Chains A and B, each alone.
Chain A
Amino acid sequence: MAVTVSIPTILRSHTGGEKSVAASGNTLAEIIDDLEANHGGLKARLVKEGSLHRFVNVYVNDEDVRFSGGLDAKIADGDTVTILPAVAGG
């Protein structure tokens, strides 16, 4: 499945400055592996010990994937994947 992935400012060093890139896969995990193949270094910024980083939010269309299976979230053709670092602190 081909999707568009929106990349936040802080990760654009991995995409040559591009705000959005194409990727393919049937699950979020496959999308992230495909991103890593074309934009090395991205995966480590998103995934830690087999789960999404606590402070990285990933949305498929309008849904935070934490509520739809995390890395196992299903991806359909034409979906939009949006990556946004949490705005958080102490």
Chain B
Amino acid sequence: MQLRRDLVEAIVAHARRDHPDEACGVIAGPEGSDRAERFIPMVNAARSPTFYEFDSTDLLKLYRELDANGEVPVVIYHSHTATEAYPSRTDINLAAEPDAHYVLVSTRDPHEHELRSYRIVDGEVTPEPVDIVDSYDPLLPED
């Protein structure tokens, strides 16, 4: 997956800011593009170092806004603050967006973060490389 450098920096900054609680959010992009463009940090309603959950009112507002814009959550990110950037059993059980890239960032080391991306579909985790780029190639015009 390609991910713009400024978006990676925004994820890491959010995760550092909320540490030791888990931080979470999405990066939206046009439906069908598989391109993460619009950074949307969310409140972790659980305010917990071991769990995250979008507030249910915020969740409805988010999906209405995405629908209205023709966007989808291309990336769903959250932090692990004491463990590695690998999906936990809970992450796998609750993953409900089969088209999303699940990006995890670990802030357990105060100086070096670890950022990884996965597909999580039907309980199966597939790691994928993250290609950090300064900008995306222009989208090809549709036929």
Contacts and interface: CB of A to CB of B under 8 A. Distances in A.
Contacts of B24: 87
A62 B52 CA distance: 23
A9 B99 contact: yes
Interface residues of B, number: 29
A88 B94 contact: yes
Given A8-B96, A9-B97, A9-B98, A88 B60 contact: no
Interface in B42-88: 42, 46, 50-54, 56-57, 59-60, 63, 72-73, 76, 78, 87-88
Contacts of A86: 53-54, 56, 59, 94, 96
A89 B54 contact: no
SS class, residues of chain B in contact with chain A: mixed
Given A10-B96, A87-B76, A89-B88, A66 B54 contact: no
The residue among A82, A84, A88 with the most chain B CB atoms within 10 A of its own CB is A88
Interface of B: 24, 26, 42, 46, 50-54, 56-57, 59-60, 63, 72-73, 76, 78, 87-91, 94-99
Interface of A: 8-10, 55, 57, 59, 62, 64, 66, 82, 84-90
